Amino acid sequence: MKVLVTGGAGYIGGVVAARLLAAGHEVVVLDDLSTGHADAVPAGASLVRGTLRDASCDVLSGGGFDAVLHFAAKSLVGESVANPALYWDKNLGETLALLDAMRRADVRRIVFSSTAATYGEPESTPIEETAPTRPTNPYGASKLAIDTTLAEYARLHGLGGVSLRYFNVAGALLDGGLALGERHTVETHLIPNVLKIALGDGDAVRMFGDDYPTPDGTCVRDYVHVVDLAAAHLLALDACEPGVHEVFNLGSGSGYSVREVVDVCRAVTGRPIPAEVDARRPGDPAVLIASSDKIHRMLGWKPERDLTAMVRDAWTFLSAAR
């Protein structure tokens, strides 16, 4: 297939673009490089620099596209709370421009990068796709609005859409000469932050809260390897059906606490990694664990790489990038 990957210069979009190429697809990346890196676009994919609003119409009208994989987004929860309008404009507004361009060019398949943040504070775990969606910040709300829009475009315009709701993505793609991992300018994620301390970049890990109702008091999250996540996108791409919008969670079904993650990082790196307890981070639910039964049942997906593999690959990537 000929596929447009929006946000393909970012962490997850770049890894998925590489896996698409390896599977024999033709890939065009559209990215404004506001947070992505041109060198994260794998060789073999062409890069168009621009926003969805300015460029998706021109790119798609170039012709021959079968599908869009849509990763381009703002994704910092704190920033979304400080500036909600930016998230509605960049996430929902630019997606509407993309969908309009898709309609004009008659491209009918889309796989969208949604998030566990659409659920908010869960009533029960593991979280199924039928759980209530009550996002607690504008980032999650803007992603949920896109899921809703896709469902409507499927119903009203015959679009075939899949929303993949990621839980905590980690690890890196290391494949021969190719190394693609997390390189955010503002790094909020736990694993790269812990590994930075292992590399001597900072004194101690800050663990946000140790008084949650969890076995060791720190928050529990469900981590999934970016390469397993990429495999789910390829399955979803094949599964898009005209007039249907499906939502699938992507996680491992098991949870690890912040302390456990720090311990795995110590074991993998062989470094002591000092850690201290800090205040809770506002808006963090105590436990987020996915049920990925639906995607297992319908598309046959299941994760193959455990937390140790995620940390090991992230560590190889980060230490080589120094």
Residues assigned a catalytic role: 139
Task: Give 194's contacts (C-beta < 8 A, 6+ positions apart).
Answer: 205, 261, 262, 265, 273, 275
Would you call 170 helix, strand, or coil by DSSP? strand
Site for ligand UDP in 268-287 (CB under 6 A): 281, 284
Asked if 266 interacts with ligand UDP (CB under 6 A), we say: no
Interface segment toward ligand UDP; rule CB under 6 A; list 60-68, 143-151, 188-196, 292-300: 188-196
- Provide the minimum distance between the beta carbon of 63 and ligand UDP in the complex, in angstroms, as a whole number: 38
Asked if 226 interacts with ligand UDP (CB under 6 A), we say: no
Q: Indicate which single residue of 188, 204, 274, 304 sits in contact with ligand UDP (rule: CB under 6 A).
A: 188
Strands ordered across the beta sheet of 256-257: 256-257, 220-221, 287-288
CA distance 48 to 110: 19
- Provide the minimum distance between the beta carbon of 153 and ligand UDP in the complex, in angstroms, as a whole number: 27
Task: Give 300's contacts (C-beta < 8 A, 6+ positions apart).
Answer: 235
Asked if 107 interacts with ligand UDP (CB under 6 A), we say: no
- Provide the minimum distance between the beta carbon of 154 and ligand UDP in the complex, in angstroms, as a whole number: 27
Asked if 207 interacts with ligand UDP (CB under 6 A), we say: yes
Task: Provide the CB-side half-sphere exposure for 168 (13 A, CA).
Answer: 25
**CA dist list (Å): 241 to 158, 183, 206:** 9, 34, 45
Q: Is the Cβ of residue 156 or residue 186 nearer to ligand UDP in the bound state?
A: 186
Question: What does the longest C-alpha to C-alpha distance in the chain come to?
Answer: 56
Q: Is the Cβ of residue 182 or residue 246 nearer to ligand UDP in the bound state?
A: 182
Asked if 168 interacts with ligand UDP (CB under 6 A), we say: yes
- The DSSP line for 237-250 is HHH--TT-EEEEEE
Decide: 150 and 291 in contact? Cβ < 8 Å: no
Q: Indicate which single residue of 37, 49, 184, 189 sits in contact with ligand UDP (rule: CB under 6 A).
A: 189
Residues that bind ligand UDP (CB under 6 A): 168, 188-190, 193, 206-208, 219, 221, 258, 281, 284
